[in-house]
Structures are given as structure tokens and as C-alpha cells.
A and B are shown apart, each in its own frame.
Chain A
Amino acid sequence: MGPAETLFSNYIPVLLASIVGFVLVLSALIGSRLLAPFSQEREKSTTYECGMLPIRRASTNVGMRFYLYAILFVIFDVEAVFIFPWAVSFMNLGAQAYWLMVAFIAILTLGLAYAWKKGALQWR
């Protein structure tokens, strides 16, 4: 087999696992549909909150701070993705590669320090 076929056959179990996992949940749901009682009572399907009918949809207001963390996460996750190949191969690349990565991490740490100073990391 060529490298492409080996790569493909390595990931066959991943495809299979997603199918098996899906079928597992589906079969449990079908089993429950067959066994469980089901009634059409109207009051049962109201939202579980405080007893009164909720006003408006719940999914309208999301705090601004979640987006702030999401942006920070994107920055640092991209950093982690860059560190992945470096972490595997830096022994072959020598000291220069190490100091380049130090500079890269230092720049991002400056960014983190700036966000910290600005109070972006403080949950209010």
C-alpha cells in the first residue's frame, strides 16, 4: 500500500466509530420509543422554569464577556496549533528553533498581559 492508502486505512476506524456511536444513540432512542409510555398532555411540554409561562425565547441574550473569552481562545488555540509541529521536531532543528519559539510565545504572552491589564480576564 502507498502512503495515501495507509493514511486512509488508519482513519477507517474513525469513520466507523462515528457511525457506531451514532447508531448506539439511535438504537437507544428507538428502544425507548418502543418501551416508554407517551402521552399528549399539553402542560407537560411547557418549559421548566418558575411555574409561569416564559416570556420571549430564552436564546436571545448572551453576555458580552463570552465573546471576549472566545476571541482570546482563538488567539491562543492558534498558538497551540503552531506549537504542535514544533514540539515534535524541535530536537532536530536545534537551538535556533527553540529561541524562535521563545520569541513567539513571548509576543503572545505580552498579548495575554495586555488583556490582563485591561481587565479582559476579570469576570464581572
Chain B
Amino acid sequence: MPEGLFGLNPWLDGLIRLLMIVGLMTITAMGLIYIERKVLGRFHARVGPQRTGPFGLLQSLADALKLIGKEDLRPRNADPWTFEFGPYMVFVPIFLGFVVQPFMAGFSVRVLDLGIMYFVAVSSLSIIGWVMAGWGSDNRYAMIGGMRAAAQAISYELPFVLSLLSVSMLTGTLNINEIVLSQWQVPNIVWQPLAFLIFFIAALAELNRPPFDIPIGESEVVGGPFVEYSGIRWSMFFLGEYASLFIMSVLISALFLGGYEWPFGTQLGIGFQFLLTVVKAAMIIFLIIWVRASVPRLRIDQLMGYAWKILLPLSLLQVLVNGFVLVYDLPRIVLTIAGIGGVILLVSLTERAIRLPRVTHQSSLVTQSEAAS
């Protein structure tokens, strides 16, 4: 890593890169909102936005203008400090996540040796903002939404971290750039299909995307922690959501799909690397939107049970299998076979889990008394 791309001191260099990221993030987030609405429209056999500008391209811009010009309300009962600082606490950690994103060989804001650990530490911070927003609003919907968001985030944090770790075990490093560069022959998804699937599911949950959007479920808690927010403060949450969608898709493509390196990234130069990153991230984003269009929202008992009873044991198993294969120097194809077996197991367990009836308090008491008698 050169000390400064622009031949400047680290402060100025970092600032210039971050300002480029700000531009990139704003444009991408607005583009993503448009693309999501358009793609979802197609999934629903509608046309999506089409009135503002050619093909509705200016829709996000119009939305942003409307949101800036909208009155910014604060309920009388709300706790001023937590309510006002909720958006900061959600947005700033998401923005911090951009520091380690590998877009091209020469361009990430900074290559950190502890990149993965840094990302995990920073990305889970924004849940504090969700809880602050929920608690500070003094609204029961918001409170329930905030607590649900916290429960979901901490549950899916574990499979998220463990599947990240199984990737870094293959490479022996936590540096995201080195992980990308180590995939110059074969992307990691070939060796780690199970970790990829677990990471994808856990990332959906960390992003609070459907089908894991019970914290903001409109039909239950009418928007969750964001019930009382309006205008620009609400749009900060929205911007953060799409920025983190972008971050997560770039990260998945970097860790599992070979990022800017595979295939032929180094040989064909910077432009091709950027193209690779964009295409892979776009594929992941399309997949996420597809999941949103196809899968109904989970119930909360299904959601928590899925993280603790299925994803966590399987990701622990993945770590152990990785360690065994690598320590005893078995051929790597064993990892692929084990991974495919794990994927089949995960899919069949999921299939079984979604058919289980809901355990209510009464029915569990009944089964306990039956077990006792």
C-alpha cells in the first residue's frame, strides 16, 4: 500500500479519498433506490417509477428534494438527546465501514491489516442508533421495533462473524485486500459454498432486509424505530440503509466472488477491476432484491430460532471442518464437497424449520406438562 495515492500527507490523502467516497455513496444510494423500485416493479408486473425524467431516472432526486423541504418533527414526549442523535449513530458507523472496502487494487480508503475485525466492530455499532431511535421516540411501536432490531442484530452477528472467519482461515489473514488477491485463481465461493450462503443470509438480517425486516415491519410495528422520524432525519436512516446495502454487496463480492481480482483483474488493469467490482456487486444486489420480492416476512420466533438453532451450529461446523482440512493438509476439494453437503443440509433444515407450527406460551406449557406426566 503506497503511503498516499496523491503524494500528500495521510490526513489530506484520507480526506480526499473520503470525499470521493461521499460522492460515490450518494450517487450509488440514489441509484439503488431507483433500481430497487424499478426491479421490484418488474417482479410485481408493474412498470415502477416512470414520470420523473426519462424512464423515471430522476425519481430519487425528486424524493431527496421533497425530503429536504419537509418539516422535521420531533414529538413532544421524545427524549431530545437520543432522538436527535439516533440518525448520527446509525449513519456514522455505516460510513466508517467504507474505509476498508476494496473497490480497486489501488483504491480503498485504507488497507487495514485487521480489516475484517474492523468491519465487524464498526458495522454492528449502528444498532445502537436503532435502539436510541426506538427508545428516544417514546412510542410503543418504535420501542418494540428497536428491541427487535437489537435482538435480531446480535443473533445474526454470530453466524456473520463465524462465516467471515472461515474465509479468513483459508487465507490466514484478516486483511481484506490480501483475501481478494489470494483469489486470483479460484474465488472463495468454490471452497466455501456453505459459508457464502450463511454469510448472505446473515448479511440480509444485518441489513434488516426482507425477509428479515421485522424491526421495521410495516404491518406490525408500522416502521419500527423510524415511526416518529420525518423529513431529512428519516432520510438519513434511508440513506444509511442503502449505503450499507452497497457496502455489504461489495464486501460479499470481495470475500467470496474474487472481488476485483478474479478473473484476470491484475493483468487487465484498473478499469477492468472497477468493472468487475461493479458487476459482482450488482449481481449480489439483484439477488437481494429478488429475495425481497419472493420471500414473505418471517415471524420473530422463526427468525431467532433460525439464527441460533440452524445458522450458528452450521457455521461453527464450517470453522471446524476448515481447520481440519487445512491443518492436516487435505486436498482443497474436500472443502468443496463438505461445503456442498452443508448447503444441502442447510436448505433441508430451512425447509423443515419454516413448516414447524408456532410455539406459543400455552402450547409449550402443554408440552411440558405432557412431558412431565
Contacts and interface: CB of A to CB of B under 8 A. Distances in A.
B364 A28 contact: no
B108 to A, nearest CB: 10
Contacts, number: 220
B68 A36 contact: yes
A111 to B, nearest CB: 12
A40 B114 CA distance: 50
A25 interface: yes
A88 interface: yes
Contact of A32 (B72, B95, B168, B327): B72
Interface in B341-366: 359-361, 364
Contact of A66 (B142, B147, B231): B147
Contacts of A84: 117, 165, 174
Contacts of B216: none
A77 B158 contact: yes
Contacts of A98: 323-324, 327
A94 B361 CA distance: 48
A91 interface: yes
B10 interface: yes
Contacts of B186: none
Nearest to A37: B71
A26 B117 CA distance: 28
Contact of B147 (A21, A33, A37, A63): A63
A95 interface: yes
B134 to A, nearest CB: 8
Contacts of A16: 11, 14-15, 18
Interface in B268-326: 300-301, 304-305, 308-309, 312-313, 316, 319-320, 323-324, 326
A18 B92 CA distance: 6
Contacts of A46: 75-76
Interface size class of A (residues with CB under 8 A): 35 or more
Interface stretch (B36-44, B148-156, B248-256): B148-156
A107 to B, nearest CB: 12
B140 A21 contact: no
Nearest to B26: A24
B316 A90 contact: no
A84 B137 CA distance: 37
Main secondary structure of the interface of A (DSSP, over half): helix
Given A21-B91, A48-B228, A90 B313 contact: no
A78 to B, nearest CB: 11
A12 B76 contact: no
Nearest to A102: B320
Given A36-B71, A45-B76, A63-B147, A112 B312 contact: yes
Nearest to A38: B71
A64 to B, nearest CB: 11
Contact of B143 (A28, A35, A58, A121): A58
B265 to A, nearest CB: 23
Given A13-B109, A16-B15, A24-B22, A73 B157 contact: yes
Interface in A9-56: 9-14, 16-18, 20-22, 24-26, 28-29, 31-33, 35-39, 42, 44-49, 54
Given A12-B11, A122-B359, A122-B364, A36 B95 contact: no
B246 interface: no
Given A33-B72, A48-B227, A95-B328, 12 more contacts: A13-B18, A20-B95, A24-B91, A28-B232, A47-B77, A48-B228, A63-B147, A87-B319, A89-B172, A105-B320, A121-B308, A124-B301
Interface of A: 9-14, 16-18, 20-22, 24-26, 28-29, 31-33, 35-39, 42, 44-49, 54, 57-59, 62-63, 66, 69-70, 72-73, 76-77, 80, 83-84, 87-91, 94-95, 98, 101-102, 105, 109, 112, 116, 119, 121-124
11 contacts: A13-B99, A17-B99, A22-B92, A32-B232, A49-B139, A57-B77, A66-B151, A83-B319, A94-B327, A98-B327, A123-B305
Interface of B: 3, 10-11, 14-15, 17-19, 22, 67-77, 87-88, 91-92, 94-96, 98-99, 109-110, 112-113, 117-118, 135, 137-143, 147, 150-151, 154-155, 157-158, 161-162, 165-166, 168-169, 172-174, 222, 227-228, 231-233, 235-236, 300-301, 304-305, 308-309, 312-313, 316, 319-320, 323-324, 326-328, 359-361, 364
